[in-house]
Chains A and B, each alone.
Chain A
Amino acid sequence: MLARLSQRYGVLIALAAIIALLPLVFPSTYYYRVASLVWVSAFAAIGLNILMGKAGQVSLGHAGFFGIGAYAAAIGPAHLGLPSLAALVVGAGFSALLAYLVGRPILRLRGHYLAIATLGFGALVALVITTESHWTGGPDGMPVAKLSLFGWRAGGSGTWYWIAGGLLLGGAWIAFNLDETPTGRAFRALHDSEIAARVTGIDVNRFKLQAFVIAAVYASLAGSALAMMNGFVNPDQAGFLHSIELVTMVVLGGLGSVVGSIVGAAVLIMLPQFLTVFQEYENLLLGFIIIVSMIFMREGIVPTARRLISRGRA
């Protein structure tokens, strides 16, 4: 138990050290931008991983919550006169409520049926965002007020690097701690076998719903952060392809692994930046890399790496 605890803190300290030291090797602010994107996406992926990796439920519509968070940060200050931070909280609250209401019926579904139901939910959110252009600016999106705290305004990529990094640390810390709570243990039981969990007296539906709500709040906060960082939102953030991207981050990095979500996010955010030099071959290579990684690291990058390292030691 103690060892596991120290291991968690070890990971968190390592993550904090990476966030703190990475800027030393950054040649330009562009790297702050890429790293901030990785932190924000990783934050959303960690949340989705609680649902997918720990509670064993898939969601192909998670970008819907991401979009709600993003548009809350945009609409709150622009139309409702809310300060950015309050808008972020309202967005997260709304996402939680929506997840709670939608989750109750949806989470009774299994496997691919759950996948299509969440996909439908995400599609509905994206459709509303694209259509209600008085509020959302329509398909071309709308500008977002910069985050300001007591007169101080968060501006460039540098500032956002630290905000996003802090957010990620907090998200990882909560995800780790969740493992040690009764909820976390219930999630693990759920993941192994839903029926077995039910038989041992776990209120399966309640815990699935909890995981869904937690994951929605993570996605919503990540969406708000990205919107404020970009100073702009558009409906792509809520779209099906973004949902798929989030799922790919989780699975590629490793189901159930917090570090895996960060690695998965890093790979998917940075790959296009590397591959852009190949111009028209970019998509070909991206697809190839995803296939090959999933064939040879079918549990995901981090669990596979962990297994290889421990085998090397033995």
Chain B
Amino acid sequence: MPYRSPIRHIIAAGAFALSVSGLSICSPAFAQQTVKIGSVLSVTGPASFLGEPEDKTLRMYVEKINAAGGVAGKKIELVIYDDGGDANKARTFATRLIEDDKVVAMVGGSTTGTTMAMIPVFEDAQVPFISLAGAIDVIDPVRKYVFKTPHTDKMACEKIFENLKQRNLTKIAMISGTDGFGASMRAQCVKVAPTYDVEILTEETYGPRDSDMTVQLTKIKGVAGIQAVVNPGFGQGPAIVTRNFAQLGMSATPLYQSHGVASKSFIELAGAAAEGVRLPAAALLVGDKLPDSDPQKKVVVDYKQAYEATTKQPVSTFGGHAYDGLFILVDAMKRADSTDAKKVRDEIEKTKGFVGTGGIVTMSPTDHLGLDLTAFKMLEIKDGDWTLVRPGG
């Protein structure tokens, strides 16, 4: 073996060191009259259907807020990083937001997985973090600096079971996605079912990328006495479940989807099979069908119009979560008349009667979500559109 000089290795290693320190060039200079708000979202990857509308919503409204003069006398500078759905990457970007960008608050975390990975960073740094993830674990137990805007998966189960109970359908089957959303909601549903006297007779699961669920549904079909089927899941899975459900001629059994499919594209993908499917969702999807007296009506109709005009894509409740998070934060900054992270945190916790796309939010030191079951509407798909199910219906 020929002799090789260590110097070559040192040169290679030195080049590496330089490239690491070169990172600092990327961080923009900190301007006096701006306040930095950070966001780590899953803009690409398997959860991009959450991250993308969130990303577009944040950019659109920060621009609007700045055009109207900013907040607490400062313009907002928005720093968004894409974690691609990878929790480890999310964690690194969270550190970057805190240590390098020095943001005063964060609105983001598209999935429960990425949110849970980022929570320690914000707790340690004492910077408020408004999460857009679904699972109840985000706010239960309450952490001082962590808030969230979407309804919890537990609430979705409760809303579905409440409706089942009213219809006297108490023997159900569940078919859940094995992604984070589906698994977490499944666990919550199993936990709260007894409170509503709902009995889960059988359970099936499917993988996040599966393209055929007829096998699982055939098994459910074979179990006697099933009165309804509940499908906790998000992404394309529930659309395929719904189609296979119709294919197997099971449409006489009521099918319940979750708030994880709350976008027009679900109806589009599932097609005619979606008729009669029920799901709990925020008022945003049925804004134009709300009575004029509903306090949420103006907010949700305005958001829907703005979003669809800018992006040319159908509105989803996911983008709405980002809207709620951003404005809960901005309102807190206004009330505090400050951009100090601790003062902002205290004001977020005092949020009271905030009218958002997801509901009317009133937080407290023991409730960092501030929504109750009334924030959820039970919807049914009829003639390719959402309709409100009358209370007791």
Residues of A near any B CB (own CB < 8 A)? 3-4, 6-7, 9-11, 14-15, 18, 21-22, 25-31, 33-35, 37-38, 130-131, 133, 138-141, 143, 156-157, 226, 230-232, 234, 236-237, 259, 262-263, 266, 270, 272-274, 276-277, 279-280, 282-283, 302, 305-306, 309-310
Instruction: Give the shortest distance, in Å, between B48 (CB) and chain A (any CB).
Output: 10
Interchain nearest-CB distance for A292 vs B (Å): 17
List chain A residues, Cβ under 8 A from B135.
Answer: 140
CB B351 to nearest CB in A, in angstroms, measures 26
Chain A residue nearest to B112 in the complex (CB): A140
Q: Chain B residues in contact with chain A, CB under 8 A?
A: 1, 3-14, 16-17, 19-21, 23-24, 26-27, 43-44, 80-82, 84, 86-89, 91-93, 95-96, 98-100, 111-113, 116-117, 120, 124, 135, 137, 178-180, 183-184, 187
Asked if B180 contacts A138 (CB within 8 A), the reply is yes
Most chain A CB inside 10 Å of its own CB: which residue of B7, B11, B82: B82
24 A-B pairs whose Cβ atoms sit less than 8 Å apart in the complex? A3-B3, A4-B1, A4-B4, A7-B4, A10-B6, A11-B6, A21-B17, A22-B21, A25-B17, A25-B20, A26-B21, A31-B20, A131-B178, A133-B183, A140-B116, A140-B135, A157-B99, A230-B91, A230-B120, A234-B113, A234-B117, A236-B88, A266-B16, A282-B44
Cα-based distance from A18 to B18 in the complex (angstroms): 10
Q: Within 8 Å CB of A274, what residues of B?
A: 23, 26
* B24 and A27 within 8 A (CB): yes
User: A259 to B9, Cβ gap below 8 A?
Assistant: yes
A231 touches B120 (CB 8 A): yes
Q: Classify the secondary structure of A's interface with B.
A: helix
Chain A residues within an 8 Å CB radius of B99:
28-30, 33, 157
Q: Which of B19, B95, B137 contacts A33 (CB 8 A)?
A: B95
Which residue among B86, B88, B95, B137 has the maximum number of chain A CB atoms within 10 Å of its CB?
Answer: B88
Q: Which B residue sits closest to A301, measured CB to CB?
A: B12
| Min C-beta distance of B142 to chain A, whole Å | 16
Instruction: Check A306/B87 contact, CB under 8 A, given A139-B183, A140-B116, A273-B92.
Output: no
**Quick check: A157 and B23 within 8 Å, CB to CB?**
no
CA distance A262 to B124 in the complex (A): 30
Whether A143 and B116, one on each chain, are in contact in the complex, defined by CB atoms closer than 8 angstroms, is yes
Contacts of B82 on A, CB cut-off 8 Å?
276, 279, 282
A-B pairs with the 7 shortest C-beta distances? A10-B6, A30-B99, A30-B100, A139-B180, A25-B21, A140-B180, A28-B99
CA distance A246 to B8 in the complex (A): 25
A305 to B95, CA, bound (A): 33
